[in-house]
Structure 1
Amino acid sequence: MLLPRRARNRRRRESPNEATPDSMRTRAWGSQRGQRRDAEGWCGSPSSAERSPVRFRPIASLSVAAAAVLLLAGCAGGSTPDATDTASAGTGLCAAAAPSGAASDGVTVDGDFGAEATASFSSPLEVPGVERTVVSEGDGAEIADGDYLSYALTAFDAASGEQLGSAGYADTPLQPQQITSDSVLAQLFGCSPVGSRVVATLPASDQGGAQIYVLDILDATPASQWCVAGDFTGEAPTVVLNDGALPTVTVPQTAPPETVSVEVLEKGDGAVVEPGAAVEVYYSGLKWSDGSAFDSAWAPEDPAPFTTDAVVPGFKAALEGQTVGSTVLVAMPASCGYGVAGTSSNALAGEALVFVLQIASAEPAAG
């Protein structure tokens, strides 16, 4: 029998459990090393959108269209590819935009914005590097550094002209990706406003041949409005904190929250967790849909170490601003976890998630 919210506030705890680990452990949140290997392509950088306790499949095992999406997501927060000729010293999204060139200018695009595009060009098309040409400029808001972009793409093989696939349109949604001035997305989109359509050329890499992307900027959400933590407004999971063991969590048989919802179960008296901080955290994760556990790190003296920038947005929102020693309950929609259904190969895509986390330590971000 599920307890009402007011009863949950009288949760019991067998005895205090002060988290004071002696040293940083080597456990990595979400097997990030493995995911870096999976996401590396010509950019060779980890994906901020793929951190997960379930490893992604290698790109080679995905469809070509899905691989293209995964590659873009994997490069979204990474460094500039060696093959580009863009000015890395510039600042801001406008300066980060890749230049146009003979390859991108040589692509003719047909089709309505927001729908799968067709492209024609002389094949094989020589693609010496990343190039970008604005096909049509939108009249929406100008995107800003740090925004979360919703976009769609149609991919083509530069050698044959064959359409490889598409994603991000109504029937194949993509998880919004954060665009920063040092990301590959910034090279492709620059500071173009919402509603813009661009052609981008990507050179061949170890993952495959050169490709042509037609990309539509569908929407942009400021970082300050993305996955912001607030109080529970509906029924929340019930939690029993056990002595040094996994908490007992019961998820209600109701619709999950539409926003990141947080409740501090026990307030710690340690330092405040700053943005980007290196933390050690005990946690237990469950799926809202059936209450089943999918991951945990609650062994005594063995919290999981990571930075708050290295976890999914909902988990990050639950951590930052809390104090060391606190135990926190958080529930998040799929969009603030591992993405809505169909946006990735992660087994948790489409799942609203629940975490109970206990903050063992925190150090400010380096620099």
Structure 2
Amino acid sequence: MRVRSLAVLSIAAVAALLLAGCSAAGAPAASPSASGDLCAAAAAPGTASDAVTTSGDIGTAPTVTFTAPLAVTAVQRTVDVVGTGPAIKAGDYVQYGLTQVAADTGTVAGSVGYGNAPIEPVQVAVGSGIDQAFGCATVGSRIVVTQPGAQSNPPRVLVIDVLGITTGDSWCAPADTTVPFPSVAFDASGAPTITIPANTTPPTAVALETLTPGNGDVVQPGDNVTVNYTGVKWSDGSVFDSSWAKGDPATFPTSGVIAGFRRALEGQKVGSTELVVIPPVCGYGPAGQSGNTSPLAGETLVFVVNIISTAPNTQQ
């Protein structure tokens, strides 16, 4: 299994701007957690973040004003507009807009997440780094974050609009579909051949079908699982990865794979064989999105996965 590839969550490079500089210099990275106090994780306001003003409607790229150069020596966070929607909880996926401004010149580097420049929602977890920016902000909020320079990155001001929330339990949850499922045939060794239905538009949500029910332990969130799998592209039916072909089952934590693949594992029983269809947003992200260089970007993926074993992940 290409663990490195499947472990990469397809978050736009712009989300990395939120991560970069949000952790204390020299501090070890904490393991992200879907529980904990996001309000306490938020960076404190300071002189730099309080000096930034914004104007414009939430949901549109703001006008950002401050006296340049702005002295930015630490990550600071000021909630410029308090929204009236629900608050972010640990593990939620947040839809947001982001504007980046150079702190030394006041020059706008760009805005994404608005209008024709959508980006993928990002999961906000305690210890992820971006928890310092989002905290437990409410939908409709506008947040100003200042980041000091690091390596080749100059100091910057980020203005974030919190546009919507999807709970972790609901994100990429399997949904009913009227689209025909791919067909699967198994050879004598149990390896599958997956055939995509001809002239069919793929489903827009994760679709899951149990091909063979198991009777073993139930896979719990974050478990280490051992599986056999084959993955094909809906677009042309080509196999892009297969542990069956390699003759070597793969072992990994369910928390380390793309969201759609995780949905085919957690809650299922050992011994089951699952067919899962994964749209790009729950896989490797849209094609052409800034910073997304995965060869599987924009692809709807189809996996057949047989769950061999599961065990608690003691490293969480």
After TM superposition, the score normalised by the length of structure 1 is 0.76
Which position in structure 2 is the counterpart of 1:6? none
Which position in structure 2 is the counterpart of 1:283? 229
Match of 1:141 among 86, 91, 95: 86
| Aligned-pair identity (%) | 45
Match of 2:257 among 311, 317, 329: 311
In structure 1, what is the Cα distance between the partners aligned to 2:9 and 2:233? Answer: 21
- Cα separation, partners in 2 of 1:341 and 1:301, compared to 1, 3 Å: closer
- Cα separation, partners in 2 of 1:210 and 1:231, compared to 1, 3 Å: same
CA positional deviation for 1:159? 1.7
CA positional deviation for 1:83? 4.4
In structure 1, what is the Cα distance between the partners aligned to 2:255 and 2:36? Answer: 21
Cα deviations across residues 211-262 of structure 1 (Å, max 9, x unaligned)? 1111100100111211112555431000011233742111113121232211
Match of 2:114 among 162, 169, 194: 169
- Cα separation, partners in 2 of 1:67 and 1:248, compared to 1, 3 Å: closer
Does the 8 Å CA contact 1:153/1:214 hold for their aligned counterparts? yes
CA positional deviation for 1:182? 2.2
Which position in structure 2 is the counterpart of 1:54? none
- Cα separation, partners in 2 of 1:80 and 1:103, compared to 1, 3 Å: closer
- Cα separation, partners in 2 of 1:48 and 1:335, compared to 1, 3 Å: closer
Does the 8 Å CA contact 1:285/1:293 hold for their aligned counterparts? yes
Which position in structure 1 is the counterpart of 2:300? 352
CA positional deviation for 1:151? 0.5
Report SS of the residue matched to 1:259.
Answer: coil
Which position in structure 2 is the counterpart of 1:81? 23
- Cα separation, partners in 2 of 1:328 and 1:142, compared to 1, 3 Å: same
The structure in which a higher percent of residues are helix is: 1
Q: Superposed, which structure 2 residues align to 1:1-367 within 5 Å?
A: 29-31=3-5, 48-49=9-10, 67-72=13-18, 75=19, 81-83=23-25, 91-230=36-175, 232-244=177-189, 246-252=191-197, 253-299=199-245, 301-343=247-289, 344-366=292-314
Does the 8 Å CA contact 1:332/1:352 hold for their aligned counterparts? yes
CA positional deviation for 1:117? 2.1
Does the 8 Å CA contact 2:15/2:122 hold for their aligned counterparts? no
CA positional deviation for 1:143? 1.7
Report SS of the residue matched to 2:130.
Answer: helix
In structure 1, what is the Cα distance between the partners aligned to 2:9 and 2:73? Answer: 27
Q: AA paired with 2:76?
A: E
Segments of structure 2 that go 5 or more residues without pairing to the other structure are none
After TM superposition, the score normalised by the length of structure 2 is 0.87
CA positional deviation for 1:169? 1.2
In structure 1, what is the Cα distance between the partners aligned to 2:132 and 2:225? Answer: 32
Segments of structure 1 that go 5 or more residues without pairing to the other structure are 1-26, 36-46, 51-65
Does the 8 Å CA contact 1:337/1:353 hold for their aligned counterparts? yes
CA positional deviation for 1:71? 3.8
Q: AA paired with 2:220?
A: E
Report SS of the residue matched to 1:184.
Answer: coil
Q: AA paired with 1:239?
A: V
Report SS of the residue matched to 2:49.
Answer: helix
In structure 2, what is the Cα distance between the partners aligned to 1:107 and 1:282? Answer: 52
CA positional deviation for 1:149? 0.2
Does the 8 Å CA contact 1:156/1:211 hold for their aligned counterparts? yes
Does the 8 Å CA contact 2:258/2:282 hold for their aligned counterparts? yes
CA positional deviation for 1:91? 4.5
Q: AA paired with 2:83?
A: G
